[in-house]
Structure 1
Amino acid sequence: MRPDQATTAETQSATTTVTDRDAAVDPNRETTTVTVRCTGHVRDAVGTHELEFTFEGDQLRDFLESFFEVYDLEAMLIAETEADATHSGWAPVPDDLPGTWRKNPEGEQTRPYARVCINGRFNEHLGGFEAGLDDGDRVALIYPFMFCC
């Protein structure tokens, strides 16, 4: 099989999974359809870099719950505790940080290096998991490959 055929087969598989799930969506509830873009480890797990996904509701929280039912990525992306969301880092953090620094509450944070973006903006700047989503929005699930020397 040629590499381009494998990519097509993977894309069809991902599309089929979403289509099968879409049939189970309750037609009496409001649904939202977004374009999901996947990078790094997320792309490997999903099998494609982009797909459309329909879910019940209109918030990022609704999307993530539905997406994680189809793709078992919650443990990869979402931190359960503050310790899971924090990397030790190399530089000490100053006591008085400039500007306004706000984190999502515990349980609504991503793991170190993993990010969720809506239309190119980090979800923390849009209301966290309560951020609203509209049809046609782009949700990026980012967990880059990290290499060392």
Structure 2
Amino acid sequence: MTTATQSTETARTTVTVKCTGHVRTEVGEPEFSYAFEGDTLGEFLDDFFESYDVEEMLVAETEEEASTDGWADPPEELPGTWEKNPEGEQTRTYARVAVNGKFNEHLDGFDTELDDGDRVALIYPFIFCC
């Protein structure tokens, strides 16, 4: 008797990583290819953070780390649709993660599917004040 076997292999995806600001300083390169097991932004980030110690720089653990008071009072009625990623899937204030030029919260957050050749930008700008 023969039984069918199912493949338990996980997809391997290769993306182009672009780093700016403090992330670039920590990683040491502005742009490079990166292969990981899986096909979502969350799987990419988990794998990437094992290789590069920049998670604390990019990902907010609390709502307080993900927001700022801003410099101006917002209007009573905000234009368009405003959505946030769920807690634990938000970036720190001023830090951003983008896939092919779109911020992850405008896609499917950390569930955003990635294909070979996609561009993932890890952004944490230098901020200087007064």
| Alignment TM-score, normalising by the size of structure 1 | 0.79
Partner of residue 8, structure 1? none
Write the deviation string for residues 116-146 of structure 1: whole angstroms up to 9, x where unpaired: 0111111111111000000010000001111
Partner of residue 33, structure 1? 14
Shift of 1:28: 3.0
1:54 aligns with 2:35: yes
Shift of 1:94: 3.1
Shift of 1:73: 0.8
Runs of 5+ consecutive residues of structure 1 not aligned to the other structure? 1-26
Bigger proportion of residues as helix: 1
Shift of 1:99: 1.6
Percent identical: 66
Give the Cα–Cα distance (whole angstroms) in 1 for the partners of residues 36 and 24 of structure 2: 20
Q: Tell me the C-alpha RMSD between the 2 structures.
A: 1.3
Match of 2:116 among 105, 113, 135: 135
Partner of residue 125, structure 2? 144
Match of 1:112 among 89, 93, 109: 93
Shift of 1:100: 0.9
- Matched residue count: 123
1:71 aligns with 2:55: no
Structure 1 residue runs of 4+, over 3 Å off? none
Q: Which has the higher contact order (CA 8 A, sep 6+)?
A: 2
Partner of residue 98, structure 1? 79
Amino acid at match of 1:37: K
Give the Cα–Cα distance (whole angstroms) in 1 for the partners of residues 70 and 11 of structure 2: 42
Amino acid at match of 2:102: R
Runs of 5+ consecutive residues of structure 2 not aligned to the other structure? 1-7
Give the Cα–Cα distance (whole angstroms) in 2 for the partners of residues 144 and 86 of structure 1: 16
